[in-house]
Amino acid sequence: MSLAQETGCALHIVHVSSPEGLALIADAKKRGLNVSAETCPHYLLFNEDDVVRIGAPAKCAPPIRDEARRRALWEALRAGILDTIGSDHSPAPGTMKTGDDFFAIWGGIGGVQHGFELLFSETLESAERDWPLLSALLSRNVARRFRLGRPKGSLDVGSDADLAIVTPSEPREIAASELLTRHPISAYVGRRSRVRVMHTLVRGRAVWSDGRLVDSPLQPQLLSPPIRYVMNLPFGQTRTRIAARHALIAPDGHVKSNVPGITGASTVILISEGMGANVAQLLVTFEANGRAELASPGIETAGYFETGGATLTLAGKRHTVRAGSYFFAPVGEACTIESPEPGTRLTLFQKKFVALGGVAAPQPIIAHASDVKGEPFMGDPDARLQVLLPDEPAYDLAMNIFTYQPGATLPFVETHIMEHGLLMLAGQGVYRLEDSWYPVAAGDVIWMAPYCPQWFVAMGKTPASYLYYKDVNRAAL
């Protein structure tokens, strides 16, 4: 922890098994350190009495703890202190898992086949609450933490179809005969499971179906996260740049603010009047008990859920929202967000509404980006624009998603009256702002004042996309 604080680098702590470690991790997160934590199925499913009963197959490092500590792990998981779950699959031949000296026996559990399944079995009674959380810790959070981009950890259009279909079933006892690993030794043999993994798909191809492996001609896939600077504090370096008419704000410099109406969340005000902008852009990361009440006189709000999910109430109607959902709350319409999944990330754009004489007020909107077709921008099929809000006189703001295939660009350097607030959603590239060129990647935020010359090129091996705001449909004077 001290090294992470001193260097400013990201820190991922694996195999967390005790509340003592959890307390340190929670404190580090409160202090704003870039820290995440992983635990493993065996720490959530076994206690030390099970180790005595099972013997060597349940030996691992760190060791499995007592029942109180096991329960504390579940509490931390539900509170959002734990970020990911990893298998820590560590098989060994029988000669290494037997012997008279328990301390000399190999310390590792082969659990990749049944560990994740049994987590869903363990939480069957609380599936409505816990299964979405487990799904996030096993997939979405992992992809986000290791910056794998939109192909992984998501069901959004354009993502890899990596799916496991799990269903409740008649209880069964796991038998040694069903183990598929080269060394068929497992601490889970004899444990009862109340669910089954019916089908598993990798990039859309079935690899497991109805209890059988499926021969599927899949090629290996190597994913490389975009390169980022990981050290800044010792040398006073940051990619953030603030100029008179534009800004690039990198995640390495985020500072949390207390914002009225938002509780149980980490909120960063990224763009505001303080830099000369006429729009505010906020990043809200919710905890399990988070809540936001978005209602300020004369202020309209547009929001986009980057990850997670929650319950959103707008114009008196409740909606379930998820990653990719977006909304528009006009002036005078109360908007409340509650019951979020831990780690849900929401970007907000807020501005003072400019009414247009003779035109009715804009209407509230709740929708999902996957339902909006991406149209080729100026005829280029490799640069597609999704227009999320109606382009009508009633609306004085736009919120769009622009997606570029690798190598695609804006067709020319744009210079116009519209102010922009922008969030890089995925991928990487280079953004020209006035006479400066900036490397950008997922998580970066950009502000552009009116008439700031701008241009973008997508680089790397995966598509790049960004969400952006602009003011529209009003006279120049």
Mean pLDDT of 63-84: 94
Q: Residue 371 sits in which domain range? A: 238-471
Mean pLDDT of 355-384: 96
Domain count, the chain: 2
In this predicted structure, the answer to whether residue 330 has a pLDDT above a threshold of 60 is yes
Last residue of a domain, one of 126, 153, 180: 153
Q: Are residues 301 and 424 in the same domain?
A: yes
In this predicted structure, the answer to whether residue 74 has a pLDDT above a threshold of 80 is yes
* Domain membership flag for residue 187: no
Euclidean distance between CA atoms 83 and 142, whole angstroms: 8
Last residue of a domain, one of 135, 153, 171: 153
pLDDT in the model for residue 84: 96
φ, ψ at 262 (rounded to 5°): -115, 120
139-169 pLDDT, tens digit per residue, is 999 988 988 876 788 888 778 889 999 999 9
pLDDT in the model for residue 227: 54
pLDDT in the model for residue 336: 98
Model confidence at 231, in pLDDT bands (50, 70, 90)? very low
392-447 pLDDT, tens digit per residue, is 999 999 999 999 999 999 999 999 999 999 999 999 999 999 999 999 999 999 99
Of the listed ranges 207-221, 268-282, 385-399, the one predicted with least confidence: 207-221
In this predicted structure, the answer to whether residue 319 has a pLDDT above a threshold of 90 is yes
In sequence order, the 6+-apart residues with CB closer than 8 A to the CB of 77 are 39, 44, 133, 137
294-312 pLDDT, tens digit per residue, is 988 999 999 999 999 999 9
Euclidean distance between CA atoms 281 and 445, whole angstroms: 9
Euclidean distance between CA atoms 225 and 242, whole angstroms: 26
pLDDT in the model for residue 169: 94
Model confidence at 234, in pLDDT bands (50, 70, 90)? low
Q: Are residues 278 and 416 in the same domain?
A: yes
pLDDT in the model for residue 4: 80
Q: Are residues 15 and 133 in the same domain?
A: yes
In this predicted structure, the answer to whether residue 10 has a pLDDT above a threshold of 90 is no
Instruction: Name the burial class of residue 10, with classes exposed (0-12), middle (13-18) and buried (19+) by CB atoms within 10 angstroms of its CB.
Output: middle
CATH number at residue 346: 2.60.120.10
